[in-house]
């Protein structure tokens, strides 16, 4: 992915949940442990970059696949979701393991 790539979506829900969605990213193909680590890094970066972060309660990162066939058949797979409470993002990454939310 490159800067300005439209395959990254960001959504703020109720002013307290920040959701990051990476579509068709090669990161989706990483082994589970590496993907969890990368999701935590992305969530931390999002938290640090979001100015009114004191209102946030959680950040989620989704690795999604989107395919379109013949222009109107669409396939979406958004099952790799990692959700972090703000306290989890502030602790040492080696202190706890992270599993995808399904």
Which residues have a Cβ under 8 Å from the Cβ of 85 and sit 6 or more positions away? 57, 58
pLDDT in tens, 35-69: 999 999 999 999 999 888 888 999 999 999 888 88
Residue 86 lies in a domain: yes
Domain tally, the chain: 1
pLDDT in tens, 1-14: 444 456 888 999 99
Residue 84 lies in a domain: yes
Residue 101 lies in a domain: no
pLDDT in tens, 9-28: 899 999 899 999 999 988 98
Residue 23 lies in a domain: yes
What is the C-alpha to C-alpha distance for residues 21 and 62, in angstroms, rounded to an integer?
Answer: 5
Residue 1 lies in a domain: no
Residue 56 lies in a domain: yes
- Structural domain including 33 reads 8-95
Question: Are the C-beta atoms of residues 18 and 25 closer than 8 Å to each other?
Answer: no
Closest listed residue to residue 61, CA positions, set 38, 82, 32, 87 = 82
Residue 3 lies in a domain: no
Residue 100 lies in a domain: no
């Amino acid at each position: 992915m490159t800067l300005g790539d439209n395959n990254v979506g960001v959504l703020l829900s109720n002013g307290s949940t920040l959701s990051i969605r990476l579509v068709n990213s090669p990161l989706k193909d990483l082994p589970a442990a590496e993907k969890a680590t990368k999701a935590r890094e992305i969530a931390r970066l999002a938290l640090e970059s979001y100015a009114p972060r004191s209102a946030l309660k959680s950040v989620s990162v989704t690795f999604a696949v989107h395919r379109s066939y013949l222009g109107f058949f669409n396939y979406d797979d958004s099952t790799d979701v990692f959700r972090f409470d703000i306290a989890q993002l502030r602790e040492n990454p080696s202190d706890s393991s992270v599993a995808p939310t399904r």
